[in-house]
Each structure stands twice: as C-alpha cells, then as structure tokens.
Amino acid sequence: QKREISNFDYLMYLNTLAGRSYNDYMQYPVFPWVLADYHSETLNLTDPHTFRDLSKPMGAQTVERKQKFVQRFNEVEKSEGDLSAQCHYCTHYSSAIIVASYLVRMEPFTQTFCSLQGGSFDVADRMFHSVKSTWESASRDNMSDVRELTPEFFYLPEFLTNANHFELGCMQDGTVLGDVQLPPWADGDPHKFIFLHRQALESDYVSAHLHRWIDLIFGHKQHGSAAVEAVNTYHPYFYGDKMDLNSIKDPLIKGTILGFISNFGQIPKQV
C-alpha cells in the first residue's frame, strides 16, 4: 500500500513464512502467472485484459474449465467412493517435477529432473519449451495442469536458454528442443522477457489485485468452505499440515501418502 516493498519481495517473504524454501523442491517458492497475453507484439501493462485473473486459481481461468472442475467436485459427492477425496484438483500448482521441468536447462535441476523421470528426459512434447503453450495448458487446455510459476520467471534469464546444449529431443512436429520459445513481445531475448515480466509483476494492476491470489495460495481461501466457493480445493493428501500422519498405523498407507506428497506437491502453511 505504501510502495515501500516490491511485490516480488513481498511474495518471497510470504513464501518463507509459509515454509517454502529454495532448499526443498517439494516446497519450492510459488509465484503467480500474472500475464494472459503471450501473443501480442508489444505488451500493454495499462490494459486489464493483458493480465491473468488473480482472483481465480489456474483451474478457473476460463468459464468452461471452471465448470468441468466444479462438475468433478460434485460427482465425487454423489459417488459411493471415499468422500475424503472430494476435490476440484487432483494435481497441484507446485511440485518437485514442476520446478525441475521449468529449470531443466540449468544444473542441478537437469539431474533432478532426470532422476525424477527415471534417469532420462521426458518425451519432448511434454517438456517445457514455450511460455505461451505452457500458459495455454495450465490455464485452459489440460485438465491435469494447474501449475503456477517459480520466482526465476521474474529475475533469471539464464533458465530460458539451453546454454549447456542438452539434447532435449525432438517434438512430433519436427521442432528440436533448445531455448524456450518466448512471446512475440520479448523479441526472442530472455533478458527482455524477464525485464517486462518483472515490470508486469510490479505493475499497478497486479499491485491492486495480488492480495486475491495470496488469499487462494496462502490465506483463507486455501481450504474449507471458502476454498470450495473459490473452486480452489485440492486432494486431501496435498494438505500436509492438516494430515496427522502419526495417527496412521498402516505403514503402507503412510508410505503412499508421503510418496503422494513428494511427487505431487504440498499446499503452503496458511499464513
């Protein structure tokens, strides 16, 4: 409110309070997608349509997608199955594999990604190769993709280039994977992308709406009735601090839950 701290610093502070750390891939700092425009030649930071709706989680960015997730939630309620698994999303917005896939072109993330994938890179079409197509997947096209971003998207151009010349494979359309494809407004320059992306994060629009995203990720819309209303509920196993693992006597069930959390991510502690 007083403009005495940047939005970036504020988000890092909140992540730290919520137990997120660069030292833990499973609880890596989480940052929001702030833009919805990855097709224009120039970026207009005075136009509200340039930005993502920060009051809604990634799964509710379009009306059609939101309705599908609400339908999934309601269908579980009607089924005879385990009611505790009633949720909108069975995948998470931040996990070890999401972090490693974003940063795969830099060590030590390259080795981490390969070890999580069983020793090799993923199929080229599933690798992080384009900011625009990743936004479209996470905000619109892919029902199992609701990922947010990592802090590096706002300060580290190096993760967007394949400076180590890793052989990341070839996509079905013949495209050889190398540097990350950037939006037109970045002019193919990772430094310009980071510069403008950071400007977007610090813009008046984001400053005026960022608290709504914070409510979803770190605040009162994280769980409970407020989360249901906001179409923002995740599989019960993702709420690590809400699960009393010590009360689970069956080692197989306990191991399954811990494996689930380590693979698929964890909701931050509520701030």
What pLDDT is recorded for position 244? 66
In angstroms, how far is CA 14 from the centroid of its own chain?
16
- The answer to whether domain 7-262 has CATH 1.10.1540.10 is yes
Alpha-carbon span 36 to 45, nearest angstrom: 11
What pLDDT is recorded for position 136? 97
What pLDDT is recorded for position 239? 84
User: Could you tell me which residues are beta bridge partners of residue 31?
Assistant: 149
What's this model's pTM, rounded to 2 decimal places? 0.92
What pLDDT is recorded for position 84? 54
What pLDDT is recorded for position 85? 75
- Ranges of residues in the chain with a pLDDT under 70 are 77-84, 241-245, 262
Residue 227 vs residues 21, 155, 198, 239: alpha-carbon distances, Å = 24, 31, 29, 13
